[in-house]
Amino acid sequence: MNFFPKQTELYEKIFEVSSTYFESSVASHRANALLKIAKIIIVLPDPVQRAYMHYMYLKNNRISSVAQKYSFEDFIMKKTKSNEAKTLRNQLLTTGHYANHLTRWMSYYSAQQVMIISDDDLINHTRTVLDNIQDFVNIEKPVNYNQLLRYDTRVHMYCPLNTNTVEDCYGYKDRHCSEMSKTAREYLENYYEKHNKNLLRLNQKVQFSVPKWLKVYG
């Protein structure tokens, strides 16, 4: 806990953001050992699109030589045989096993301590979602997001009020990324079907707004 900043006011909330805690096999246990009364907020994008965006990030930023060498379709459909490719493929795909990860977190935190947000809602209803988050974590001096965000009708997204650049709008880069092949999308939709159905069942335990990509299984 010494790594966290000290509170200077009683109303301040201390938080940490991570893209890997949710899928980690040990993070939930360690978090609970330190903070049993914590509030957990989880943002879930479409696992199919998430896997593709992760691959494109690794490729475009030259982080992975495997992503540089193979197409996304070849990569996920096991047309690459190297151990490095297998390891990276497993990492990209298992992150989207949301039901498994959520079940693990729910074994340490109650449903009242967990808030699940779909990426769709965060993009399309940004201000409402941010207000709901403030209520969830009991912000005593809530931020008025009407003073910070504007809705841009050109891209139908919420953007910072102090910029006219659509590239700064939340979700813009993801929506304007190159499309994956139809073959790759169909493969991943079949791959994630079981996991998505399991996630939908968990909605009975911890209520959340069901996104479009999950409604098809209801």
pLDDT digits (tens, 9 = 90+) for 183-195: 999 999 999 999 9
| Residue 166 covered by a domain | yes
In the chain, the number of structural domains is 1
Tokens of 105: 């977190």
Percent of the chain with pLDDT strictly greater than 90:
61
CA atoms within 13 A on the CB side of 217: 18
Residue 82 has what pLDDT? 84
Residue 192 has what pLDDT? 98
CATH of the domain at 67: 3.40.50.300
| Residue 140 covered by a domain | yes
Domain coverage including residue 42 = 26-216
CA-CA-CA-CA torsion sign (101, 68, 46, 151): positive
Euclidean distance between CA atoms 25 and 105, whole angstroms: 9
Asked if residue 64 has pLDDT above 90, the reply is no
Tokens of 23: 């899928």
Q: Which of 40, 36, 34, 32 minimizes the C-alpha distance to 16?
A: 40
Q: What pLDDT, in 10s, does the model give residues 147-198?
A: 999 999 888 899 999 888 888 888 877 776 678 899 999 999 999 999 999 9
Q: Is the pTM value of this prediction over 0.75? A: yes
| Residue 105 covered by a domain | yes
pLDDT band at 45 (very low <50, low <70, confident <90, very high): very high
| Residue 174 covered by a domain | yes
Residue 163 has what pLDDT? 84
Euclidean distance between CA atoms 207 and 22, whole angstroms: 18
Mean pLDDT of the chain: 91
Residue 170 has what pLDDT? 86
Rounded to the nearest 10°, the torsion over CA 7, 9, 13, 15 is: -30
Tokens of 171: 């979700």
The type of residue at 67 is A
| Residue 73 covered by a domain | yes
Residue 149 has what pLDDT? 95
| Residue 17 covered by a domain | no
Q: What pLDDT, in 10s, does the model give residues 1-26?
A: 677 778 777 778 889 999 999 999 99
Q: What are phi and psi of 147, to 5 degrees?
A: -90, -5
Using the 8-state DSSP alphabet, how is residue 80 labeled?
A: -
Tokens of 99: 């039901």
| Residue 1 covered by a domain | no
* Residue 2, helix vs strand vs coil: coil
| Residue 6 covered by a domain | no
